[in-house]
Amino acid sequence: MFGIKTAALPATLPRLLGLALLSAVAWSASGHELDAEQKRSRALLENLCGRCHAVGKTGQSPNPLAPPFRAFGEKLYDTDMVQRLQDGLTTIHPDMPTFRFSRYEAAAAVNYLRSIQRSR
């Protein structure tokens, strides 16, 4: 259901169950759903990044080397991700095509990415 391998289940199951509960609560409470701008960002990221990265709250990355976006965690806070999205992302990894976001798109994308992180 969560797309994880059976071997990993025992260790991660309690966490996943907790998460499932949390997100069920979050999703049912109005105000915690994605707003229109976050949905636009998700669509943009699905388009540009979705062939390698898992963009949403669940699912595996199509490219096993590419971390799921919901796992970035602290990176979204420690590094200036907004700036990196505007500068283009080729610096990150040779496999990654160059993307340039407008300042507005970059800020919106990071806002979306922060909203899907597992522990915040």
Q: Residue 49, interface with ligand HEC (CB under 6 A)?
A: yes
In the list 51, 100, 103, 120, the residue contacting ligand HEC (rule: CB under 6 A) is: 51
Identity of the residue, 90 or 119, whose beta carbon is nearer to ligand HEC in the bound complex: 90
Nearest CA-CA partner of 116 in 82, 77, 69: 69
Which tokens sit at 86? 């505007």
Report how far residue 81's alpha carbon sits from residue 9's, in angstroms, rounded to the nearest whole number: 32
Dist. CA 109–CA 24, nearest whole Å: 23
Closest approach of ligand HEC to the CB of residue 17, in Å: 28
Cα(37)–Cα(22) distance, integer angstroms? 22
Contact string 58-97 vs ligand HEC (x = CB under 6 A): -----x-xxx-------x-------------x--xx-xxx
Judge whether 65 and 57 are in contact, CB under 8 Å. no
Could you list the residues that contact ligand HEC (CB under 6 A)? 45, 48-49, 51-53, 63, 65-67, 75, 89, 92-93, 95-97, 99
